[in-house]
Chain A
Amino acid sequence: MARLLAFILANRALSAGLAILTAICIVAVLGPLLVDTALSRVGAVPPRLPPSQLYPFGTDGQGREMFTVIIVALPQTLKIGVTAGLISLAIGVALGLIAGFVGGLLDAVIRTASDVMMTIPGIAVMVLIAANVREMTVTLMAVIIASLSWMIATRMIRAQTLSLRDRGYVQIAILNGASPLRLVFVEVLPNLMPFIAASFVMTVSQAMLATIGLEALGLGPQNELTLGVTIYWAQFYSAVVRGMWWWWAIPIGALALIFVGLMLTSIGMDGFVNKRIGVRS
């Protein structure tokens, strides 16, 4: 554990990324407990006011207090991204392990399915589904997005499983008569952890990207405030043209922070992951 910490600290990108993400998570968890969420509803405060001492992030065109909005919307956005990410990851790891370990026809099927799904532009399917759904909720969004983000994790895990399968200690375990379950959980999975972690970060990034995209198009959750939905409303009420920059710029800033954090973490993990694969450097 101490070694892990030392490693993280030594890797600048990784520590910066994790620091940002941790800070965001803290705000997301503690924030709603510390503000009056009623201020984030329509008509709570006088509208269209620029940032001031009273309203540090200003107020939007519909009378919501922006600071509260951000605090409330942040956890929702994270919820969708992380939930979708976790579901995708679970699917991806399961499929990747199966494809890599079992091989043969099952592998071919999974691989083809993943190839095919990757070619379909996610947004296309999501728009289709979202446009047909009568009431979009956070959970439903997460599920829809998850169903289109599992491919990256599958590919990565499959590749790693394939290479690990031929390693000495796995072969020995098989010769010793280890059951497949034991093989997976004791021999293979621990060594896959770095890749699973890296896949998780990438999957969450992609999920968040898809979420924001859908929300900005107006297909997001209707009754809950997320960062993307906030931007949608800003766009809808022509906030950009009307100079109400605080309505859309601040959510963008928050989103940018999240994405930068995710990317730095991903870059940091890249270095670690590659070392394990044994890429010549």
Chain B
Amino acid sequence: MYLDYIARRFGVMLLVIFLAVSINFLIPRLMPGDPVEAQLMQLLSQGGGNLGDIAAMVDSYRARFGLDQPLWRQYFAYWESVLTFDLGFSLANYPERVASAISGALPWTLGLLGTATLISFVFGTLLGGLMGWPQARRAWRIFGSGVLLLSSIPYFLIGMVLLYLFVIVWPVFPAGGGLPFGQTPGLNWQTVQGIAWHAALPLASIVLAETGAWAIGMRGMIVSVLGEDHITLAEAKGLRPGRIFNRYAMRSAMLPQVTRLALAMAHIVSGAILVEVIFSYPGVGFRLFQAIQAKDFFVIQGIVLMLTVTLAVATFILDLIYPLIDPRITLRRKG
């Protein structure tokens, strides 16, 4: 039953969120020492922050998170703050709140990831189909193999190469950031152009690497679809090869690709984080990197939590959609 299936997937999603919050809570507290103080002392030793400010902050946190209270009390308090989206303050950029730091960076990441995934999925699936189809030109197979080899390399490594080639050697693209320096975003063509220009290389890094992954998946599907009887009958019917490719092979092979989307998302997100770092692209990944550098503990926690929860929700949504678009899946009991 569809409802059973939804319930199960929902359960998994809740479990993931529960685990994520709990792990987020436990790990720093499992480390020896007072987590907040340890971080703050480290900050101090690196010469960051003002002693007076920090002392005030430590006190307020102590009280807030009740670090002197039994663990389970702290746990509930943590849940409470999470559910109200209060993820604390940024240690490095006090008094900036973690939540606002994240929400400022989020749109950039979403834009980059969304576009990159869309382009890679479309191109990759098409390429994979052409690679697996015996009647397609051989050139596609050769081209595809090249793309495939590229895909084995982590995104950000490709990013570094692209950065070097197209920013240093041939200064075509800007070195980093989301917008040209000093430009304020507005609803105008100039903004769009600026964004596009700065996003080009990060986008290219992800697309170059991801496309191959989709292609190889699709190629595998097409090859196995080829052996199926309905392709033989389609040929027997005297249908045009193009139609057989599109309506008979691609369509039935493509649906499992969509499930792969759900599984691939965690992987794509991980890769994108590093790409942002290379290009100083002002997304969530870059903020995370900065936070790691600055030992900005709460920002790290906040971003990690947000990433996990977002992925869990997105996976759930995809899980919901897939049975609806594949007519083969009958989650209804027969008869």
Question: Are A and B physically bound partners?
Answer: yes
Q: Which of A134, A205, A218 contacts B293 (CB 8 A)?
A: A218
Q: Which of A119, A219, A281 contacts B227 (CB 8 A)?
A: A281
Q: Which of A173-181, A183-191, A239-247 contacts B (4 or more CB under 8 A)?
A: A239-247
Q: Which of B23-31, B83-91, B183-191, B252-260 contacts A (4 or more CB under 8 A)?
A: B23-31
Q: Which of B127-174 contact A (CB under 8 A)?
A: 148-149, 151-154, 156-157, 160-161, 163-164, 167-168
- Rounded to whole angstroms, the CA-CA distance of A129 and B270 in the bound complex is 15
Q: Which of B224-276 contact A (CB under 8 A)?
A: 224, 226-228, 263, 266, 269-271, 273-274
Q: Which of A2-10, A36-44, A110-118 contacts B (4 or more CB under 8 A)?
A: A110-118
Q: Which of A217, A245, A262 contacts B289 (CB 8 A)?
A: A217
Q: Which of B12, B148, B271, B308 contacts A124 (CB 8 A)?
A: B308
Contacts of B263 in A (CB 8 A): 118
Q: Chain A, 204-215, contact with B by CB distance < 8 Å: what is the 0/1 string? A: 010001101100
Q: Which of A46-54, A76-84, A252-260 contacts B (4 or more CB under 8 A)?
A: A252-260
Question: Interface size on A (CB < 8 Å)?
Answer: 47
- Rounded to whole angstroms, the CA-CA distance of A259 and B212 in the bound complex is 14
CB-CB nearest in chain A for B220: A270
B149 contacts A120, C-beta separation under 8 Å: no
| A209 to B: closest C-beta gap in Å | 6
What does DSSP make chain A's interface, helix, strand, loop or mixed?
helix
Q: Which of A232-280 contact B (CB under 8 A)?
A: 235, 240-241, 243, 245, 248-249, 252, 255-256, 259-260, 262-263, 267, 270, 279-280
- Rounded to whole angstroms, the CA-CA distance of A129 and B304 in the bound complex is 11
Asked if B67 is an interface residue, CB under 8 A from chain A, the answer is: no
- Rounded to whole angstroms, the CA-CA distance of A219 and B12 in the bound complex is 30
Asked if B317 is an interface residue, CB under 8 A from chain A, the answer is: no
**Taking beta carbons and an 8 Å cutoff, which residues of A are in contact with B?**
112, 115-116, 118-125, 127-129, 131-134, 205, 209-210, 212-213, 216-219, 231, 235, 240-241, 243, 245, 248-249, 252, 255-256, 259-260, 262-263, 267, 270, 279-281
Top-4 shortest CB links A-B = A280-B227, A263-B152, A123-B270, A121-B266
5 A-B pairs whose Cβ atoms sit less than 8 Å apart in the complex? A127-B292, A216-B274, A240-B164, A255-B157, A260-B152
